[in-house]
């Protein structure tokens, strides 16, 4: 299943490494990634494929959100079609 991971918050070292490592450990493939820094704010969007993950989608979303809290970032996982619908007006 294609999904979108969004990561936002104050910039610091290791954000991409932590999020990508977390996804790797759960067998989630990163298909595309875009990141930028606006002032001191970090923003990243990842297109991912969760079809090989053994973790249920809702549980994976919660684990990502919890990991984000631990590193001081907002991390969200959404189905790609929901993300597209929300951002196409």
Tally of domains within the chain:
1
What is the bridge-based pairing of β-strands 2-10 and 74-79? antiparallel
Taking only the tens place, the pLDDT of each residue in 16-67 is: 999 999 999 999 999 999 999 999 999 999 999 999 999 999 999 999 999 9
What CATH code is carried by the domain that includes residue 81? 3.30.70.260
39: containing domain: 2-87
* 8-state DSSP, 22: H
- Please give the model's pTM, rounded to 2 decimal places: 0.88
């Amino acid at each position: 299943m294609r999904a979108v991971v969004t990561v936002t918050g104050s910039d610091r070292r290791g954000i991409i490494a932590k999020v990508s490592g977390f996804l790797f450990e759960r067998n989630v493939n990163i298909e595309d990634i875009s990141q930028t820094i606006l002032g001191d704010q970090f923003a990243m969007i990842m297109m991912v494929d969760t079809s090989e993950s053994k973790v249920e989608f809702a549980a994976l979303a919660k684990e990502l959100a919890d990991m984000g809290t631990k590193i001081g970032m907002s991390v969200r996982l959404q189905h790609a079609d929901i993300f597209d619908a929300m951002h196409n007006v």
